[in-house]
Amino acid sequence: MSKIYLDHASSMPMDARVFEFAKPYLMASHGNPSSLHSVGLQAKQAVEESRSKISEFIHAENESTIIFTGGATEANNLAVKGAALRNITAGKAVVASVIEHMSVLNPMKELQKNGFSVTFIPVDSTGIVDLKKLEGALTKNTVLTTVMYANNEIGTIEPIREISKIVHEKGLYLHVDAVAAAGRIPIDVQKDGIDLLTLSSNDLYGPQGAGALYIKPGVKIQSVLLGGGQERGLRSGTENVFGIVGMGEAAHIAQKEMNRESSRLLPIRDRLITEILKIDQSYLTGHPLQRLPHHASFRFSYIEGESILLNMDMYDIQVSTGSACSSKTLEPSHVLLAIGLKHEEAHGSMVLTIGRSTTMDDVEPVSKASNETVQRLRKMSPMSQEWRK
């Protein structure tokens, strides 16, 4: 059986068209965008063209709203800490949903150590943010609220426009981590009412090591990485020209093909969900309808996720169990705990994120391998043996 890669939420393979477009900036076009000679100016022009592509991709006001970073984690840190610290005279309260990525939650906790009040908003059993709790948490001292566009572990899409309305009636700025959503569903930062938005190159089929932060005109933030003053003084350091050029082209391709590709993936996703839920004691996690078109996530009773991942890999099928960024610990996913699962339930998760290489022909071998994996692991599980009694 050929390899079936179903872990696009943690890393997408670079699109061959993106590589061919950006390849000259690995060797031949090696200039520093800050240099004033012709080679440097060529690199600077390429960076600015990518900035324009990213701006168009999210329907930003203009290209000057885009700041390039070394990845989504850096962009989230810049948004959270940069906005909170720059606007400290307006208040020292920040708010986040409890299911945010760790690159949002950990900067929030760091702010808390430095005197900020931090409130984490709960979600319901499908991962939707509690809007009443959000409204109640906001005060005149709230300088930043952050809610992700869609969750990378359970695929649930948040009601961003409703959230934006609540935030701007009572708070200051709304930051949205759009890494999981961008390229899968349309994003319009102006219509959505977003002040700060995080993007990742690697999650758009672009090169690893590049990201971007949209900053709405008039929004005030400060740098968290000091140096030579590149990127409007907000992100110092020589730009990763290859990564940035690739990210821009990846966004350009995604913008053209997103609707068609999402329509192609939806029936594959739904078929996977139908087939895998035939396994005894299997459950879908996340919202059944309001979810990303490429995302199917499950939990299985009496087994644990790392074993699922390793067993599926024996079939040459790559899947995930929760977030790749938090899988180095043995703790259950904070997202699965937040939607009300018990520790033992949260451990038995499997996340399938399909992509451009996925076809309907993959459904049968994936379903078969999933069933065999679950049955094999349950035979070895003490918890399963107790259940069978």
Give the pLDDT confidence score for residue 329 in this predicted structure. Answer: 57
Q: Residue 115, Cβ neighbours under 10 Å: how many?
A: 8
For residue range 124-148, list pLDDT tens digits in order: 999 999 999 999 999 999 999 999 9
Range with the poorest average pLDDT among 18-22, 54-58, 332-336: 332-336
Query: For residue 268, is it within any domain?
Result: yes
Are residues 109 and 197 part of one domain?
A: yes
Are residues 150 and 291 part of one domain?
A: no
Q: Decide which of 253, 274, 299 is a domain's last residue.
A: 253
For residue range 260-279, list pLDDT tens digits in order: 999 999 999 999 999 999 99
Sheet of strand 349-353: strand arrangement: 282-284, 295-300, 349-353
Are residues 200 and 147 part of one domain?
A: yes
Q: Take residue 342 and report the two structure tokens written for it.
A: 């018990």
- CATH assignment at residue 302: 3.90.1150.10
Strand-strand pairing, 173-177 and 142-146? parallel
Spatial distance between the Cα atoms of 173 and 194, rounded to a whole number of angstroms: 8
Q: Take residue 245 and report the two structure tokens written for it.
A: 């050029």
Are residues 228 and 125 part of one domain?
A: yes
Rounded to 10 deg, the angle between the 241-276 and 38-57 helix axes is 30
Average pLDDT across the chain, whole number: 93
Are residues 247 and 99 part of one domain?
A: yes
Give the pLDDT confidence score for residue 237 in this predicted structure. Answer: 85
Spatial distance between the Cα atoms of 333 and 347, rounded to a whole number of angstroms: 7
Query: For residue 124, is it within any domain?
Result: yes
For residue range 315-327, list pLDDT tens digits in order: 999 999 874 444 5
Are residues 106 and 245 part of one domain?
A: yes
Flag whether pLDDT at 155 surpasses 60. Answer: yes
Spatial distance between the Cα atoms of 125 and 288, rounded to a whole number of angstroms: 11
Q: Which residue has the higher pLDDT, 76 or 228?
A: 76
Are residues 325 and 212 part of one domain?
A: no
* Share of residues in the chain with pLDDT > 90 (%): 80
Contact 89, 118 (CB under 8 A): no
Q: Which residue has the higher pLDDT, 380 or 350?
A: 350
- CATH assignment at residue 199: 3.40.640.10
User: Dmax over Cα atoms in the chain, in whole Å?
Assistant: 77
Selecting among 325, 360, 364, 388, the annotated active-site residue is 325
Query: For residue 60, is it within any domain?
Result: yes
* Structural domain total, the chain: 2
* Residue 372 annotated among the catalytic residues of the structure: no
Mean pLDDT of the region 241-266: 97
Are residues 240 and 283 part of one domain?
A: no
CA angle (320, 212, 159) in 5-degree steps: 65
- Would you put residue 284 in left (φ > 0), alpha (ψ -120 to 50) or beta? beta
Give the pLDDT confidence score for residue 326 in this predicted structure. Answer: 47
Are residues 186 and 105 part of one domain?
A: yes
Note the pTM of the prediction, 2 decimals. Answer: 0.94
Are residues 165 and 59 part of one domain?
A: yes
- Domain that includes residue 349, residue range: 4-11+259-381
Give the pLDDT confidence score for residue 380 in this predicted structure. Answer: 86
Helix H or strand E segment including 295? strand 295-300
Q: Take residue 306 and report the two structure tokens written for it.
A: 């790392």
Q: Decide which of 253, 271, 305 is a domain's last residue.
A: 253
Rg of the chain over Cα atoms, rounded to whole angstroms, equals 21
